[in-house]
Structure formats: structure tokens, C-alpha cells
Amino acid sequence: MIRNGFLKAAIVMAALSVASVAHAQTGPTSNWIVEFGIGWDNSISGNINSSAIGSLNNQTVVILKNKYEDVYGTGLNLRFGGGYMLNDETEARVMFTFQSLDADLATLGDYGASPLYGQYSDYQSLTLDVGLRRYGRLRSNNIRPYAEGLIGIGFVDKTDVELVAPQANLRRDATDFYDQTTAFAFGANVGLMFPAGERVAFFGQLGLRWMTGMDGVDDLEGTGLESINDKSSRWTMPFLTGVRYRF
């Protein structure tokens, strides 16, 4: 699903670029903009699994919560897209953000007298955001501060987890721990734009972002552990740097 979404995003961006080039032929500078950025997505809240007490195979199981950063660390993301200057201070924007994160082995809790571990599958998502950006201007130089608001929809690939308790000789796959999910997101960013010529500029920004939770699959129904995947919505603080080009 993510690969298909990424291909669709690339087609949209190619079409946007062609339209921008065509428009740019009418004058030295058009209102069309393309942008590319790379950064980190620092988690503030949200659990990849929550805590619970239940049983598997007649053994008592204690699950401790794991946050996203416990399993996936600080996520690197790629962002690309474009915009259109409605006037000198306001820009309408369409952006795509792609993430693919490797999972570390997580300590989940206890299975009877044995420690219980979980190996999650990798996290992959593609998000489409639309929004508005407002620019200001510093009196001392050409650096332009800005603020923006975005709303979007994200396509998150399914997440599996393998449960292992070595001392109890347990190995169990919780297939589709989270199903393929369409999630909603909104965020706000503030940043600074550093012109490097008439058309090119570099930027750095910091923001807050919220995304709804993933769709949990009740593969553990009847064990008392059903609630461990029902609090996966999260807040993050993305930091991003990049370059933009105005046609």
C-alpha cells in the first residue's frame, strides 16, 4: 500500500512540476513553488502498546506500555511538495511526508516466570497534508519568519508483532497487531526562510503534530490483553530543514 501511495505521490509531484514550468514561461518569476525537506519526528506522547494483565496458554501475562520512541526511536522523515503564492504573505500548500522506520526488540513484560519480548515489524506511512502559510519579514535583513497550519490524511501500513518468552519456550505471532490504517492529522509549524538568490531559499522549522490512532486487530481476544493496542494516537514535535525553489 505504501509503495502504491508513494508512486501516486510522485506522479502528482511530476504533474505539479510540469505545470509550474509551463507557468514560469510567462514571466521571470511565477507564483508556483516546489519544496523538499528532511528532518526528525520526535514523539511527545502515544503508545505503540499499552499496559494490561491477562493470560496466554493458562499463563499469567503482564504487559508494560511501550511508547513509539521505545520501539522506533526518533523517526527520520522525507517531505516533498509544492505551493502557490496567493499574495506576497500567504501561500497555499500541498505536502507529502514519507516515513519508514526500523523496529528495535522491545521488552513487553512477563509471561509466567519468563520475561516477554516483542519484535514489531517496521513502521511505514505516507501522509498528504494541505494548509496555509503566512510570512512575515524581519526589518534587519531578508530572513522571513513564517507560521503555517496543516490538516492531512495518512496511510499507515499494517504492523505485526512476534511475542517471545524464552524461558517458557513461547513464540507466538500476533499477525496484524495493527491493520492498514487511514489516519487523520493536523499540525502547526513555525520557521525561518533564508533566501539564497532570487528563486532559491533554505528553511528550518519546528512544529507540533497530532495523528489519530491505528486500527487495532483483536488477535488477542479472550486473553484479557485486548486493550494493549487501543491508545496509539500520538503527538510529535517534528523538526525539518530543506530547500525550496520558486519558478
Mean pLDDT (whole number) for 15-35:
59
- Give me the percent of the chain exceeding a pLDDT of 90: 68
**What angle (nearest 5°) sits at the alpha carbon of residue 177, between those of residues 79 and 233?**
50
Is residue 132 helix, strand or coil? strand
What pLDDT sits at residue 16?
Answer: 47
Listed residue (212, 198, 181, 209) closest to 246, CA to CA:
198
Q: What average pLDDT does the chain have?
A: 87
Per-residue pLDDT tens digits for 117-131: 999 999 999 999 999
Q: Give the pLDDT band (50/70/90) at residue 175.
A: low
What do you get for the CA distance between the two ends of the chain, in Å?
33
Per-residue pLDDT tens digits for 128-151: 999 999 999 887 678 999 999 999
Q: Give the pLDDT band (50/70/90) at residue 218.
A: low
CATH of the domain at 82: 2.40.160.20
What pLDDT sits at residue 39?
Answer: 95
Look at the chain and report how many structural domains it folds into.
Answer: 1
* CA dist list (Å): 166 to 56, 60, 64, 169, 170: 15, 15, 18, 5, 6
Per-residue pLDDT tens digits for 88-123: 999 999 999 999 899 999 999 999 999 999 999 999
Domain of 175 in residue numbering reads as: 2-246
What pLDDT sits at residue 244?
Answer: 96
Give the contacts of 237 (CB within 8 A, at least 6 positions apart): 41, 42, 44, 206, 207, 208, 209
Per-residue pLDDT tens digits for 177-213: 899 999 999 999 999 999 998 899 999 999 999 999 9
Per-residue pLDDT tens digits for 68-80: 999 998 888 999 9
Which residue carries 516533498 as its cell? 80
Top mean-pLDDT range of 23-32, 56-65, 237-246? 237-246
